[in-house]
Structure 1
Amino acid sequence: MTQQTTGAPARSAANDAPPLTRAGSWRLEMSAINGFLLSFPLIVMLALFVVYPLIRIFIEASSDGDTFGRYATVFTNPVSRRALTTTLVDSVVVTLVATIISLTIAWTIHATSRRWVRILLWTVTLIPMWTGVIMKNYAIFIMLSKQGPVNSVLLALGVIDEPLSLLYNDTAVIVGITYSLIPYAVFSLFAAISTINLQTLTAAEALGATRTRALFGIALPVAKGGILASMALVFVLSIGFYITPVMLGGPQTAFMATLINQQLNSRYDFQGASASAAVLLIVAVLVLAVVAALVGAKTLKRAIR
C-alpha cells in the first residue's frame, strides 16, 4: 500500500510531462548563428550611430589635407585653448566634489541601519535623474540668483551686506554639473562599497584601531578600484556637457561643446569642429585607458554599467 502511494505522484508527473519528439530538441545554450541573428540589429545600430560617427570625426578633421594643423590649432588658438582648459579644469573639480559627496552618500546607505535614512538618500539621489536637463539647470539658476535662496540666507545671517553674483562663472557651472552627475557617482560607488563587510571594521576597532584607521586601512583598499572607476566615469561625462555651461556659465565659461557648436553653426568650420571633438574624444579615451590599467578593465566595466 505504501509503495502504491509513493509511486503515484511519480507516475502522474511522468504522464503530465510533455513528450519529447526527439532527443536533444531543447538546449539551454543558443547556437552561434542564432545569437548572431538576434544581435545583428544591435550591431547595425552601433555601427551606424556610434562607430561610423566616431570614425567620421577623424576623417572630417583631416579632409582638407592639413591633418596635424587642425589638431595643433585646438591648442594654439586662444579661444579653443581657453575652452579646452576651462573644460578640463572644471571637470576635474566636478570629479573631486562629486566623488566626495557621492562617497558620503553611498557609505551612509551601506552602513546605516535606519530604513528611512536609506529611503531618503536614495530618493535624493534619484531626483536629478527623474528631472529634465533644462529643469535641473533652471533650478540651480534660481538657487544662485541674486534673489535666490542662497543669497537670501546669507543676507539673513548677516554674512554678506549685498547679494553676491553667483551666476555666470565657473562655480555655477561646477555646481550644475555636479548636481547632474552625483547619481552616476553614487550608483558606481555603492556597487564598490557594498562589497565591504562592516563586521571587519567592528573587529578592527575592537582590536584597538581607530575609526579613521579602520576606514583607510580596510575599507579604502577594498573600494579604491571602484572609486577610481567612478571618478573616470564622472570626468568623461562632465567634459561633454553643453547646456549647463551655456545656462549657468555664459560665454566667459565656454566648454568645448559650446565651442564645437559655434564652429558648426556660426562659422561653418566643420574641420575645426571635428578636430575639437577628436581632441575631446582622445582625452576621454586616455583617461579611461589609464584608469583601466590601474584598476583593471573588469572593475571599470562594472562601474560604467
Structure 2
Amino acid sequence: MKRFCLLLVFFLSIWMISISCSREDYVKSVEGESKIVVEGWIEQGDVPQVILSRSIPINTVIDSTTILDYFIRSAKVTVTDGVNEEVLSLKSDEGRVPPYVYYGSKMIGEVGKSYSLKIEYLNKIIEAKTSIPTVVNIKSADYRKVNISDTTGFVYLEFNDPDLEKNYYQIETRVDEVEPIFVPSLYGNLNDDNFISRSVSLQVTRGIYVFSKTKYKPYFTDGDLIYVKLRTMSKSGFDFWNSWQNEIINGRNPIFPANTSLKSNIKGGLGAWEGYGQSTVSIQTIKK
C-alpha cells in the first residue's frame, strides 16, 4: 500500500490535489523537508492546467487517509504570456482521480508563445517557463488486429516529421468511458533523431492508467472508442517524460529512487511545466 501511495503522489498528469487547509497546515508542521510537486501544462488551443501536491518522505507511513494530507488546493497559481496574466481557479472535475485541478479560463495556448508559471504557497514561490512548439498533425490512425477473429488489437499511427525542425513527441491515448484522461502511451516518447525517414509509422501501445479498475492490458478491445493524441514538446518535456516512463517500467519509487530522480524544469520544486502542440483523432472500433 505504501508504494502505491508514493506513486499516487507523483504520477503527475492527473493525480495531485489537496483536501483541506487544515490538513495542509498539519503537513507543514510535520514534513518540513517535503517539496512541492507540479504537473502543469498548456496545450495549443486549450487553457493552462496545473495539479499540485507535496512529495512524501521515504520514511513516512502512508495509508488511504494520510495520503490526502499531501494534496494542495490553497495555492495561488498564475500564468502569464508576457502580455496577459491569469490567476488559475481550482475546480472540481468528478471524472478525474483526484478530482481537483487549477484551470485557466481566458488564456488559450498558441503555437510559438512562451508561458511563465508562478506558484505561491505558504512561504514558497515556485516558477517555471515553457513555450508551445509547432503542431505536427496525425496523418492517419487505425485499429488493427493480428487475426480477424481476435477481439483485441493495437492502434497504428502515421505522421510526417518536418524536415527542417527538431521535434520531440509524446503519444497519448484515452478509451472513452474507461479512462477519464489521456494516458501517455508506453514507449510513446519519441525523439526524431531516431527516425529513419520523414514518414513515421508505428504501433501504439496502451499506457498504464494507475487508477484503472481492471488489470492493465497493452492493447485495445473491439467496441472501444479510442482517442489518440500526438503532442510536440520541448527537450525538457521529453527528458521529464522519459524519466517518468523509465520509473514506470522499472517499478521504482519516482521521488526517492536509489540513484536517480525524475527530470524537472521547476525552479523551487519538482515536476514539469510544459507547453504542447497537439493533434487528436478518434477511432470507433466495431464490437462483434
TM-score greater than 0.5 by the shorter chain: no
Q: Which has the larger radius of gyration?
A: 1
Structure number with the higher helix fraction is 1
- Could you say which TM-score interval applies, normalised by the shorter chain? under 0.3
TM-score (norm 2): 0.18
> Which structure dedicates a bigger proportion of its chain to strand?
2
